[in-house]
A and B are shown apart, each in its own frame.
Chain A
Amino acid sequence: MAKIKKKVKVIKVDADKCNGCRGCEIVCSAFHAAPKYSDINPAKSRIQVISHRLRNIWLPVFAGEYAPAECMGRDQYIIDGKEYDECNFCRAACPSRDIFKEPDSGLPLKCDMCEGEDKPKCVEWCLNDVLTYEEREEEVDEDVKLDDVEVGLESMIDKYGREKVLDTIARMSQKEE
């Protein structure tokens, strides 16, 4: 397989420095509004500061991939004597919880690193250096890229099962004939 160069974008999170202000949530939700900055709603933010103030937990987490189903199990961490709730470190928008979903529609949200900007807005708004941005290049194997139809079909298969999708396509193509 051919090697290609890939840009890797990293947001480093130094949670120890977090003062819990949630400025990252505010600017994220505003930036992703349409038109840009026209509304603010931290529940729509693709970064969420998980906080349990009395347990001294302030943990900024970015929205990752959409997961159609819950994991088979759950995780729970204790670090430095601090007990984190189940799935606190997970970045998925998944059926087991409310975060990283549009509050009204329930559609999953995913961090896009503020594509097109110099750096993600949350990084820019964090004056306490909790969030820092880094870019680097990596050599990777060239992926076989799925086209849009395939991506769409894959998600349909995820949701309804292969059989149902195939049946439907078969039925639809018969109708067309």
Chain B
Amino acid sequence: MRYAETGYNLEVDLSRGNIERVETDPRLTELHLGGLGTNARILWDRVPPETEPFSPDNPLILSTGLLCGTPAPGANRTIVTTISPLTRYLAYSMMGGFWAPELKYAGYDKVILRGKSADLVYLYINNDKVEIRDASHLRGKGSNETAELIRRELKDPNVQVSAIGLAGENRVFFASIEQGRSSASRGGIGAVMGDKGVKAVAVRGTKDVNIARPAEFVELCNGVLRYIKDRESKPIPGVMPILAGLGSPQEMKLIDEEWHTTNFMWGNSRTRRKDFWTKDIEEKWRETQESVRTRLISCYNCPMKCGATISVPGVATYMMKCFTKLTYTMAAFSDLDFGFRIAQRATEYGVDGFSAPQVMAFALELLEAGILKESDVAGMPADNEGKFYWLLDRIVRREGIGDVLADGTYWAAKKLGSGAEEYAHNNIKKQEQLPLKLGMLNPVYYLMYSTGEKINITQIEGQFPQAPFMTKEETEEFIRDWIHVPDDRFKEYLRKWEFRGEFSNPYYPDIQASCDIVDWQEMMHYIDDALGMCAGLSSFPLKPPYHIHNYPSFITAATGLDMDEAGLAKITRRNRMLVRSVNVRRGLRRADEKPPEDHWKKRFPELEQELLSTYYKFKGWNMNGIPTREKLEELDLGYVAEDLEKRGILKDGQD
């Protein structure tokens, strides 16, 4: 019997209409756990670097994590992996919600879509019965609308649906896969789904997920719930409200947006409005938020309330979480009411809430600069908010200028020329970033931005405070019950860190400390992504219920695998290395690993290069960011070294 996992993948060839239930090799679980780990392995094994994102040979993998479907609170993430049309690297975008556990109960760990369907279809998985069904009547429908129509058609309200909207159908490079409550947004994975002719994947499962050591496992889960209750009653003082508690930033719950609105940039990530947040604004935004928010909601098996159902008068109800609340508002220099309204349309269309607003603000800047002509936007309304609706409608339909903008700021600027590149200023590896521009270089964040292959800082950072505490007493108070650190070195790093002077940014945390901190943060995310655990209960917040010291027991009790901290760390490094290897084979090099030029006002080119070189060495990569044979072999990835050498990417003896 297989524990925690089902031991079966569903392999669907859309070109031929063939569906197979394939037993997986248990050895792969031992090597990679599951989720992102086994997804990366499939991409390495099956997808040669020449494969184009819109090739039938580019698989779209919708995967559960190893702990999804078990009682482990927060283990509900779907990890979607494919080659991104936007970055052209491995995209791994994730979503919470209810889809992954349902897939486990249907008896599968992953759905692997390959080929292309000639007509628009949706996949219906009902335990052992799997059908490719006609979706021509769903063409052009919104993501929520599609889910509702499918539930009605199947006469089953318990079917969980992951669907694309118009943006995915039209292969917009920042199209998302939406799942009512959540979305996998980054890297344009929705475009790959649309390219395959798949409108939705609907799942219903009523089978068992087995646990190897039941009594032990449930006691661990009870411990997590007790911890959450206690931790939620003790918000961490001295940090911004969104970081005080657990969960992904509780923006549907919180009204206080002073930190985001006065620190993040408005427009095309240009303008900081330090004095924006006033009593009047707070009152007005409170009224808006409280009047449209009908209920705070969570994902599967999680006591938090990171999301909300939103009912804006005159607009269909939808669900939202997190930062999309502000991205449209801030891109358009508008207010919260506009943000909630346009987010509804954007959710139905299925677009990335980071990229889409930025692309539109970028277009308006180009227009102002004369790079786009009035004739390019003929018909666009004159009012500010109207412009955003108009651009969004063009982009998801790829109409006129929308067709250019639908490729994201990097590719659009390239196509437009005439200096447009200057305006696509907020990208890393071709993908739009959080609109954040700061003063002083932070060495830890420099490394995370440069090397993180999720290319999205909120899914790279976490655990370690984002800034030093104001006083020694606060620092000591924080450290007192900081059991989550891998070892006491990290407490010392925090103790020494100061706002000013010798031990402050950019020279402190020093290079070694920065490497350690980044490595710890990355390790926690990679564990979560293999297990299907939400970062909001683990790698993102300060002092989360899951950490490196208790994770091994969860894995052991759930699966029966003997796991300890060293073993888990090794698997994590292996998965991390495999993701890098897929990308290196597709051309990723040191030159690509840099934050936007204007991310910090004060830059230190020499220090930055030293940081990068030291971190590369620390990770077992050569000076060009390519994994060395020695390190690959140490992680049982000799076959990767061989392939990289055969292709002349890794040169023998040049480690």
Contacts and interface: CB of A to CB of B under 8 A. Distances in A.
Contacts, number: 103
Given A22-B301, A37-B215, A53-B319, A127 B295 contact: no
6 contacts: A27-B71, A37-B217, A40-B208, A54-B180, A54-B316, A54-B318
Given A36-B214, A38-B210, A21 B157 contact: no
Interface in A122-145: 124-128
B24 interface: no
A21 B300 contact: yes
Interface stretch (B302-310, B400-408, B608-616): B302-310
Given A53-B181, A126-B303, 5 more contacts: A21-B301, A23-B301, A39-B208, A58-B297, A127-B303
Contact of B71 (A26, A50, A103): A26
A64 interface: no
A37 B215 CA distance: 7
Contacts of A50: 157
> Lowest 9 A-B CB distances belong to which pairs?
A37-B214, A43-B206, A103-B206, A127-B303, A39-B208, A19-B298, A38-B214, A37-B218, A21-B298
Interface string A30-48: 1001011111111110000
B228 to A, nearest CB: 7
Contact of A41 (B209, B217, B296): B209
Given A22-B300, A22-B301, A23-B303, A40 B71 contact: yes
Interface of A: 19-23, 26-27, 30, 33, 35-44, 50-56, 58, 85, 103, 124-128
Given A21-B302, A43-B105, A54 B317 contact: yes
Interface of B: 69-71, 73, 98, 101, 105, 144, 148, 157, 180-181, 205-211, 214-215, 217-218, 222, 225, 228-229, 294-305, 309, 311, 316-319
Contact of B105 (A20, A42, A56, A128): A42
Contacts of A41: 105, 206-209
Given A40-B69, A85-B157, A26 B211 contact: no
B221 to A, nearest CB: 8
A43 B341 CA distance: 36
A45 to B, nearest CB: 11
Contact of A52 (B157, B217, B294): B157
Contacts of A52: 157
Given A56-B295, A127-B225, A127-B228, A30 B218 contact: yes
A33 B105 CA distance: 15
A174 B303 CA distance: 62
Nearest to A48: B158
A20 B28 CA distance: 34
Contacts of B311: 56
Nearest to B76: A21
A136 to B, nearest CB: 26
B317 A56 contact: yes
A128 B253 CA distance: 14
A51 B298 CA distance: 13
A50 B228 CA distance: 25
Nearest to B212: A38
Contact of A56 (B69, B294, B299, B301): B294
Contacts of A39: 208-211
Contacts of B148: 54
Contacts of B222: 124
A26 B301 contact: yes
A12 B69 CA distance: 27
Contacts of A37: 71, 211, 214-215, 217-218
A123 to B, nearest CB: 12
Contacts of B218: 27, 30, 36-37
B479 to A, nearest CB: 27
A168 to B, nearest CB: 35
A127 B157 CA distance: 25
B584 to A, nearest CB: 39
Contacts of B207: 41, 103
